[in-house]
């Protein structure tokens, strides 16, 4: 028991050991730094798989066997408390996988390699911290610390307009988290400052439904007010319309690997926050605001799709498609049914793999073309006839695109289908409207594909070389994931079922 | 609790030592020839003197609080802690003065002597239990500060700063005295303890006089903390004064003023009633305005020193929120905040000073690409900036967290949200310098002589507590918890 109970610690801190290692390696030994980072993330990924193999799928809620609880600040009852359940496990495996592949895809980074890999591994530690934390204070610390490596990764290794994007990303997220901080401290007092007042688990279950607060003579419901605070904090991360405006900038400017992490993992932290914190702590308020969440999700789906359609920069197109796809997750959350929630968590995982593929592929293409225009600002074509030039690339691109579109047989289909099944009874109108979003999704992706891959080969594209072994190596695992989970999603679904069921049955009482 | 004068003296050792240091320094300085001034030995003597003050203040921590000199001063753990913060601030400023080129060599002794004098005033303020002692403390603090502000003798801006400071200072002292005289008229005493007793029996007419009088009284302290609307002098004075003086001003007078304000608030306004509502209401508005005005003004600054000056105004607003809750939680949060603020401010000013010594100014562009020339310094300054903005895992975040706990314990939700939004605004201008240092390529490869091994060591030594207190803050918070304001 002792060995497995330290597993979370090992997963969380292995990347940090990697950071120290990178810092100790001399600057000139660039390949050693790369290999060290790769080996480190590979070990982490293996550890997450070990966690998966030891995970007991029948247990709803936190798995006691893995819990770590050490007092941190005793006078405030703040604990270093880690745990894992069926909702966080898929995210943890996704994190482990994507970071490893991203290190491989970052092989071509040449600027300040030492700093890049150190920050990247540090980012991984903070992401794991968010998914493991069972103490609200600890969660907040990881949630915030993550901004620092992200800021530098976008700001130093990004594209032309990187500084603006980095600052905007930082400020936006910080604004959301400050509201979350106020909510967290308010919860600390509302729960009576007891032993468990920062424990996410102990705060759950509608303890605060009847509390009210006085503000300028009007009486407000405590849970509704602070649900909104937490909602804004998480919604900025997802991002939910109208808090999404940081995302296109950050995505377009970020280097490939960082875009992958941003879309693949970081956006999920927002929805994970709903599942782990906002919904369980304020179940009454969540049910009360479910309609609003559903409508916002719908706006995300439709608006994101239309924005994506209008883009001439292929990376921006994929960035907006993320907005659209995260809208489906929000819809699944708003459903508050077992099917819908399962679909939402599965969509979080599947979007992580499919969008990561898209961003990686665009990164591969960018290394050859050094631009990302589908249509250049002067109206000429940016790409044309890639199909004949880059056959391997095209095949993988087709898989990624169809997965992202939700074609049956690939992963996106199952999660989206579950979401629609889950919400249909509650929000029939929204379901029908969201289906239009699905159609739009197919439209912009296929249109983009047509413009880039078909047609005459333009002069520039003739010099492009097809994917090399390294690039294939980091694309294949994702292809496998997308196909396998499209046909056989049970490995992921089984893990989450019990935990999601527990959450839904709690929400159902309100 | 009555203590005779001789017995009182034994509790007064830190203040006496500070006075002694000051006189000793004057004597030593007098023995130097004109061209020898500003040499090492003086700094060593100042250092020894100040460290011994620190040691004796530390020794009185945790002891039973005593009222000395016929109850006009109170020595409790709270005042001792605040004194320690002030002494550390002075030591930091003195070290900065020893390396800085912003003060001419022959004026450096003057700076040290007067800074020690200001420190004595600040120490008095933090234990004052009597209107007159409080006034003497403020005046000791102020009059020497006027001279410090105009320390750059040939510089017009510095003279202007000194003049502005003294005009504002004289004005607010006058207003404060006016308020005090009315308070004395109503309550019939200048001793805080006796006043508090009478205060519980006042009727409505008396309250009608007392409320505005206390506001006048607040003007004097508010001016030292540089809170809105008494902040007008601050940017010009901070800009015009030599850099070590600015660093000094943004720590010692503020901490002293806050200490006095905490004692006054807890002695007079702890009981619910019209006075409490009026005082808390006014302080809330002042705190919200101070934060907002400080932050919004800091955005547009070109000079980093001026930016730090405005940001120090907004931090004073933050700390004011810990005062206005009038609770032990609030006191604790102010203590924690001032300790972390001390380290952050000193570290920031150190780096700015070394850069500005090299280029003659401290415009933002001077920091461009610092990370590629002096990575250690750039990282330290980054940590400090993130910490000032309140981002974990640095101590500035923990300080803000404590202010929030103090506010929300009293359910001041609106103030908490205003404070939060202000943090976001402040992040914008702190990021500006981080961005320049880390994301841009350097303009020149010239070496900055200020970043020698000692100075880099000093900056790192100041940055370490910023990180450590952000992760393991339990010890300090327990210490601050023990430092309660002594109420009779």
- A437 near A445, Cβ under 8 Å? no
What are the backbone dihedrals phi and psi of residue A414, each rounded to the nearest 5 degrees, phi first? -65, -45
Residue-wise pLDDT for A26-37, tens only, equals: 888 888 999 999
**Chain A residues with CB-CB distance to B405 below 8 A:** 185, 188-189
**How much is the pLDDT for A419?**
92
Q: How far is CA B135 from CA A308, B175, B257, in A?
A: 67, 12, 11
Write down the pTM of the prediction.
0.93
Judged by CB atoms closer than 8 Å, whether chains meet at B438 and A144 is answered as no
Q: Which of A152, A156, A182 sits opposite B404 (nearest CB)?
A: A182
**Chain B residues with CB-CB distance to A216 below 8 A:** 414
Q: Using CA atoms, how far apart are residues A80 and A77, in angstroms rounded to an integer? A: 10
Judged by CB atoms closer than 8 Å, whether chains meet at A178 and B420 is answered as yes
- Whose CA is closest to B99, among B18, B43, B33? B43
- Whose CA is closest to A440, among A263, A293, A321, A322? A321
A153: left (phi over 0), alpha (psi -120 to 50) or beta: alpha
Judged by CB atoms closer than 8 Å, whether chains meet at B413 and A213 is answered as yes
- B125 near B138, Cβ under 8 Å? yes
Rg of the Cα atoms in chain A? 22
Q: List all residues 6 or more positions away from A357 whose beta carbon is below 8 Å from its beta carbon.
A: A396, A399, A400, A403, A404, A475, A478, A479, A482
Cβ-based interface (< 8 Å): residues of B facing A: 386, 389, 391-393, 397, 400-401, 404-405, 408-409, 411, 413-414, 416-417, 420-421, 423-424, 427-428, 431, 434-435, 438-439, 473-474, 477-478, 481
Q: Is A188 on the interface with B (CB under 8 A)?
A: yes
Between A293 and B274, the more confident residue is A293
**Chain A residues with CB-CB distance to B413 below 8 A:** 182, 186, 213, 215
Strands A68-73 and B66-68: unpaired
**How much is the pLDDT for A3?**
44
Q: Using CA atoms, how far apart are residues B108 and B45, in angstroms rounded to an integer? A: 13
**What is the distance in angstroms between the Cα of A246 and the nearest Cα belonging to chain B?**
15
Strands B66-68 and A218-221: unpaired
Alpha helices in A254-335 (DSSP H): 256-261, 267-273, 279-281, 283-288, 290-310, 314-335
Rg of the Cα atoms in chain B? 22
Over the range B232-265, which residues count as b (16 or more CB within 10 Å of their CB) and which as e?
ebbbbbbbbbbbbbbbbbbbbbbbbbbbbbbbbb
Q: What is the full per-residue pLDDT of chain A (510 aa) written as tens digits?
A: 444 578 888 999 999 999 999 999 888 888 899 999 999 999 999 999 999 988 888 888 788 888 888 888 888 888 898 988 888 999 999 999 999 999 999 988 888 888 899 999 999 999 999 999 999 999 999 999 999 999 999 998 888 888 899 999 999 999 999 999 999 998 888 887 777 778 888 888 777 777 888 777 788 888 888 999 999 999 998 889 888 889 988 988 999 999 999 999 999 999 999 999 999 899 888 888 999 999 999 999 999 999 999 998 999 999 999 999 999 999 999 988 899 999 999 999 999 999 999 999 999 999 888 888 888 888 888 888 888 888 889 999 999 999 998 888 888 889 999 999 999 888 889 999 998 888 999 999 999 998 888 888 888 888 888 888 888 988 999 999 999 998 998 888 888 888 888 888 888 887
Q: List all residues 6 or more positions away from B343 whose beta carbon is below 8 Å from its beta carbon.
A: B395, B462, B463, B465, B466, B469
Q: Using CA atoms, how far apart are residues A451 and A376, in angstroms rounded to an integer? A: 12
Q: Is A189 on the interface with B (CB under 8 A)?
A: yes
**How much is the pLDDT for A145?**
93
- B230 near B111, Cβ under 8 Å? no
Sign (positive or negative) of CA dihedral B310, B312, B316, B322 = positive
**Chain A residues with CB-CB distance to B421 below 8 A:** 175, 178
Q: How far is CA A278 from CA A337, B212, B239, in A?
A: 16, 46, 46
**What is the distance in angstroms between the Cα of A262 and the nearest Cα belonging to chain B?**
20
Q: Please say if the pLDDT value at position B35 is more than 80.
A: no
> Domain-by-domain residue ranges, chain B?
1-242, 269-488
**Chain A residues with CB-CB distance to B401 below 8 A:** 181, 185
- B364 near B302, Cβ under 8 Å? yes
Q: Using CA atoms, how far apart are residues B159 and B112, in angstroms rounded to an integer? A: 19
What percent of chain B stands above pLDDT 90? 41
For chains A and B, CB pairs below 8 A equal: 84
Q: Please say if the pLDDT value at position B275 is more than 80.
A: yes
Between A397 and B201, the more confident residue is A397
Report, as an integer, the average pLDDT of B378-391.
92
**Chain A residues with CB-CB distance to B424 below 8 A:** 171, 174-175, 178
Structure tokens that stand for A157 in this block: 């290794």
Strands A212-215 and A218-221: antiparallel
Judged by CB atoms closer than 8 Å, whether chains meet at A163 and B439 is answered as yes
Judged by CB atoms closer than 8 Å, whether chains meet at A181 and B478 is answered as no
> Helix (H, G, I), strand (E, B), or coil: what is residue A214?
strand
**Chain B residues with CB-CB distance to A140 below 8 A:** 392
Residue of B393, B424, B428 for testing the chain A interface, max A β-carbons within 10 Å? B424
Q: Which of B408, B417, B473 sits opposite A189 (nearest CB)?
A: B408
Residue A79 per-residue DSSP state: E
**Chain A residues with CB-CB distance to B389 below 8 A:** 174
**How much is the pLDDT for A1?**
40
> Facing residues of A47 across strands?
none
> Helix (H, G, I), strand (E, B), or coil: what is residue A172?
helix
Structure tokens that stand for A27 in this block: 């600057």
What ipTM was reported for this prediction? 0.91
Judged by CB atoms closer than 8 Å, whether chains meet at A185 and B414 is answered as no
Task: Report the range of poorest mean pLDDT among A168-182, B131-145, B226-240, B299-313.
Answer: B226-240
Structure tokens that stand for A501 in this block: 């069921």
Residues 145-174 on A with a CB inside 8 Å of B are 145, 147-148, 151-152, 155-156, 162-163, 166-167, 170-171, 174
Q: Using CA atoms, how far apart are residues B209 and B188, in angstroms rounded to an integer? A: 13
Q: How far is CA B211 from CA B207, B279, B304, B321, in A?
A: 6, 8, 39, 20
What are the backbone dihedrals phi and psi of residue B473, each rounded to the nearest 5 degrees, phi first? -105, 5
Q: Which of B409, B411, B423 sits opposite A178 (nearest CB)?
A: B423
Q: Is A75 on the interface with B (CB under 8 A)?
A: yes
What are the backbone dihedrals phi and psi of residue A78, each rounded to the nearest 5 degrees, phi first? -95, 130
Residue-wise pLDDT for B96-121, tens only, equals: 988 888 887 778 888 899 999 999 99
Q: Using CA atoms, how far apart are residues A341 and B204, in angstroms rounded to an integer? A: 62
**Chain B residues with CB-CB distance to A73 below 8 A:** 473-474, 477
- Whose CA is closest to A468, among A104, A33, A159? A104
**How much is the pLDDT for B34?**
67
> Facing residues of A78 across strands?
A73
Judged by CB atoms closer than 8 Å, whether chains meet at A170 and B431 is answered as yes
Q: Using CA atoms, how far apart are residues B421 and B392, in angstroms rounded to an integer? A: 16
Nearest CA in chain A to B382: A148
Judged by CB atoms closer than 8 Å, whether chains meet at A144 and B413 is answered as no
Judged by CB atoms closer than 8 Å, whether chains meet at B424 and A178 is answered as yes
Residue-wise pLDDT for A352-404, tens only, equals: 999 999 999 999 999 888 888 888 888 888 888 888 888 889 999 999 999 99
**How much is the pLDDT for B2?**
52
Tokens 């200072």 appear where? B169
What are the backbone dihedrals phi and psi of residue B398, each rounded to the nearest 5 degrees, phi first? -65, -40
**Chain B residues with CB-CB distance to A162 below 8 A:** 439
- A256 near A363, Cβ under 8 Å? yes
**Chain A residues with CB-CB distance to B409 below 8 A:** 189
CB atoms within 10 A of CB B449: 12
Q: Using CA atoms, how far apart are residues A309 and B135, in angstroms rounded to an integer? A: 70
Judged by CB atoms closer than 8 Å, whether chains meet at B438 and A155 is answered as yes
Nearest CA in chain A to B395: A141
- Whose CA is closest to A142, among A157, A122, A156? A122
Judged by CB atoms closer than 8 Å, whether chains meet at B424 and A74 is answered as no
E strand or H helix that includes residue A56: none
Judged by CB atoms closer than 8 Å, whether chains meet at A189 and B478 is answered as no
Residue-wise pLDDT for B68-80, tens only, equals: 888 888 888 899 9
Tokens 């609030």 appear where? B330
Q: Please say if the pLDDT value at position B488 is more than 50.
A: yes
Name the average pLDDT for chain A: 89
Report, as an integer, the average pLDDT of B180-208.
88
**How much is the pLDDT for A216?**
78
**Chain B residues with CB-CB distance to A176 below 8 A:** none
**How much is the pLDDT for A117?**
92
Q: Using CA atoms, how far apart are residues A377 and B318, in angstroms rounded to an integer? A: 48
Q: Using CA atoms, how far apart are residues A410 and A414, in angstroms rounded to an integer? A: 8
Structure tokens that stand for B467 in this block: 């990180």
Residue A135 per-residue DSSP state: B
Task: Report the range of poorest mean pLDDT among B149-158, B452-461, B479-488.
Answer: B479-488
Reduced 3-state DSSP string for chain B: CCCCHHHHHHHCHHHHHHHHHHHHHHHHHHHCCHHHCCCHHHHHHHHHHHHHHHHHHHHCCCCCCEEECCCCEEECHHHHHHHHHHHHHHHHHHHHHHHCCCCCHHHHHHHHHHHHHHHHHHHHHHHECEHHHHHHHHHHHHHHHHHHHCCCCCCHHHHHHHHHHHHHHHHHHHHHHHHHHHHHHHHCCCEHHHHHHHHCCCCHHHHHHHHHHHHHHHHHHHHHHCCCCCCCHHHHHHHHCCHHHHHHHCCHHHHHHHHHHHHHHHHHCCCCCHHHHHHHHHHHHHHHHHHHHHHHHHHCCCEHHHHHHHHHHHHHHHHHHHHHCCCHHHHHHHHHHHHHHHHHHHHHHHHHHHHHHHHCCCEHHHHCCHHHHCHHHHHHHHHHHHHHHCCCCCHHHHHHHHHHHHHHHCCCHHHHHHHHHHHHHHHHHHHHHHHHHHHCCCCCCCCCCCCCHHHHHHHHHHHHHHHHHHHCCHHHHHHHHHCCCCCC
Strands A218-221 and A68-73: unpaired
Q: List all residues 6 or more positions away from B350 whose beta carbon is below 8 Å from its beta carbon.
A: B96, B247, B455, B458, B459, B462
**What is the distance in angstroms between the Cα of B430 and the nearest Cα belonging to chain A?**
11
**How much is the pLDDT for B38?**
56
**How much is the pLDDT for B475?**
83
């Amino acid at each position: 028991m002792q060995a497995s109970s330290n597993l979370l610690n090992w997963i969380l801190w292995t990347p940090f050991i990697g950071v120290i290692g990178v810092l100790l390696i001399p600057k000139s030994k660039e390949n050693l730094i790369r290999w060290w980072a790769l080996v480190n993330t590979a070990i982490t990924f293996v550890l997450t798989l070990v966690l998966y193999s030891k995970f007991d799928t029948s247990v709803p809620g936190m798995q006691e066997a893995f819990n770590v609880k050490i007092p941190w600040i005793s006078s405030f009852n703040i604990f270093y408390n880690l745990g894992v359940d069926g909702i966080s496990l898929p995210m943890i495996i996704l994190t482990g996988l994507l970071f490893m592949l991203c290190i491989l895809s970052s092989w071509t980074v040449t600027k300040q390699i030492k700093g890049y890999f150190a920050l990247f591994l540090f980012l991984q530690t903070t992401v794991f911290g968010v998914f493991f934390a069972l103490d609200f204070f600890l969660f907040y610390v990881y949630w915030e610390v993550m901004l620092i490596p992200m800021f530098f990764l976008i700001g130093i290794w990004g594209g032309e307009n990187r500084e603006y994007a980095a600052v905007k990303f930082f400020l936006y997220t910080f604004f959301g988290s400050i509201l979350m901080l106020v909510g967290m401290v308010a919860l600390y007092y509302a729960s009576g400052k007891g032993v468990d007042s920062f424990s996410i688990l102990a705060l759950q279950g509608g303890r605060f439904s009847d509390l009210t607060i006085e503000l300028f003579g009007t009486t407000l419901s405590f849970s509704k007010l602070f649900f909104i605070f937490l909602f804004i904090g998480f919604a900025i991360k997802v991002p939910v319309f109208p808090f999404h405006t940081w995302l296109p900038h950050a995505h377009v400017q970020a280097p490939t690997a960082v875009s992958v992490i941003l879309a693949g993992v970081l956006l999920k932290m927002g929805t994970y926050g709903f599942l782990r914190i906002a919904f369980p702590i304020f179940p009454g308020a969540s049910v009360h605001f479910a309609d609003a969440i559903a409508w916002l999700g719908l706006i995300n789906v439709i608006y994101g799709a239309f924005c994506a359609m209008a883009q001439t920069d292929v990376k921006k197109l994929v960035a907006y498609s993320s907005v659209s796809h995260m809208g489906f997750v929000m819809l699944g959350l708003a459903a508050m049914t077992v099917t819908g929630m399962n679909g939402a968590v599965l969509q979080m995982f599947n979007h992580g793999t499919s969008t990561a593929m898209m961003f990686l592929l665009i990164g591969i293409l960018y290394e050859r073309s050094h631009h990302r225009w589908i249509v250049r600002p002067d109206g000429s074509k940016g790409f044309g006839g890639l199909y004949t030039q880059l056959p391997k690339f095209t095949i993988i691109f087709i898989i990624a695109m169809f997965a992202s579109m939700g074609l049956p047989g690939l992963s996106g289909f199952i999660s989206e289908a579950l979401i629609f099944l889950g919400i249909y009874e509650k929000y029939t109108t929204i379901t029908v409207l969201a289906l239009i979003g699905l159609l739009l999704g197919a439209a912009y992706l296929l249109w983009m594909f047509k413009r880039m891959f078909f047609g005459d080969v333009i002069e520039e594209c003739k010099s492009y070389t097809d994917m090399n072994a390294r690039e294939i190596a980091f694309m294949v695992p994702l292809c496998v994931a997308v196909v396998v989970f499209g046909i056989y999603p049970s490995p992921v679904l089984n893990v989450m079922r019990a935990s999601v069921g527990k959450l839904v049955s709690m929400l159902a009482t309100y | 609790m009555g203590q005779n004068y001789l017995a009182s003296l034994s509790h007064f050792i830190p203040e006496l030592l500070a006075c002694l240091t000051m006189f000793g320094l004057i004597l030593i300085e007098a023995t130097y020839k004109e061209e020898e001034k500003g040499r090492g030995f003086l700094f060593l003597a100042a250092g020894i003197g100040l460290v011994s003050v620190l040691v004796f203040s530390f020794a009185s921590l945790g002891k039973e609080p005593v009222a000395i000199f016929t109850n006009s001063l109170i020595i409790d753990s709270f005042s001792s802690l605040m004194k320690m913060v002030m002494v550390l601030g002075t030591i930091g400023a003195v070290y900065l003065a020893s390396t800085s080129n912003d003060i001419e060599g022959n004026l450096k002794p003057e700076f040290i002597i007067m800074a020690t004098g200001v420190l004595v005033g600040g120490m008095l303020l933090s234990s004052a239990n009597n209107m007159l002692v409080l006034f003497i403390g403020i005046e000791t603090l102020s009059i020497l500060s006027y001279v410090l502000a105009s320390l750059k003798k040939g510089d017009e801006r510095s003279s202007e700063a000194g003049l502005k400071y003294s005009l504002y200072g004289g004005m607010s002292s006058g207003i404060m005295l006016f308020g005090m005289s009315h308070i004395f008229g109503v309550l019939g005493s200048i001793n805080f303890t006796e006043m508090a007793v009478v205060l519980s029996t006042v009727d409505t007419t008396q309250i009608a006089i007392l409320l505005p009088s206390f506001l006048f009284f607040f003007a004097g302290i508010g001016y030292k903390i540089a809170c809105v609307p008494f902040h007008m002098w601050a940017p010009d004075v901070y800009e015009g004064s030599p850099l070590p003086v600015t660093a000094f001003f943004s720590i010692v007078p503020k901490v002293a003023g806050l200490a006095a304000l905490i004692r006054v608030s807890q002695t007079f306004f702890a009981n619910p009633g019209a006075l409490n509502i009026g005082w808390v209401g006014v302080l809330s508005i002042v705190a919200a305005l101070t934060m907002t005005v400080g932050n919004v003004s800091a955005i547009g600054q070109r000079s980093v020193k001026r930016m730090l000056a405005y940001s120090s105004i907004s931090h004073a607003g933050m700390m004011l929120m810990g005062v206005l809750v009038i609770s032990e939680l609030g006191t604790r949060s102010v203590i924690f905040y001032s300790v972390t603020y001390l380290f952050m401010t000193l570290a920031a000013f150190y780096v700015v000073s070394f850069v500005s010594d090299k280029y003659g100014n401290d415009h933002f562009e001077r920091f461009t690409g610092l990370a590629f020339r002096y990575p250690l310094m750039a990282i330290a300054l980054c940590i400090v900036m993130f910490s000032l903005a309140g981002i974990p895992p640095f101590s500035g975040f923990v300080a803000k967290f404590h202010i929030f706990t103090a506010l929300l314990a009293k359910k001041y939700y609106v103030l908490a949200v205003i404070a939060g939004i202000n943090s976001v605004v402040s992040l914008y201008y702190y990021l500006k310098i981080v961005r320049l240092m880390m994301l841009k390529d350097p303009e020149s490869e010239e070496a900055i002589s200020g970043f020698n091994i000692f100075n880099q060591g000093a900056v790192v030594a100041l940055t370490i507590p910023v990180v450590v207190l952000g992760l393991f803050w339990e010890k300090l918070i327990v210490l601050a918890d023990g430092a309660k304001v002594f109420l009779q």
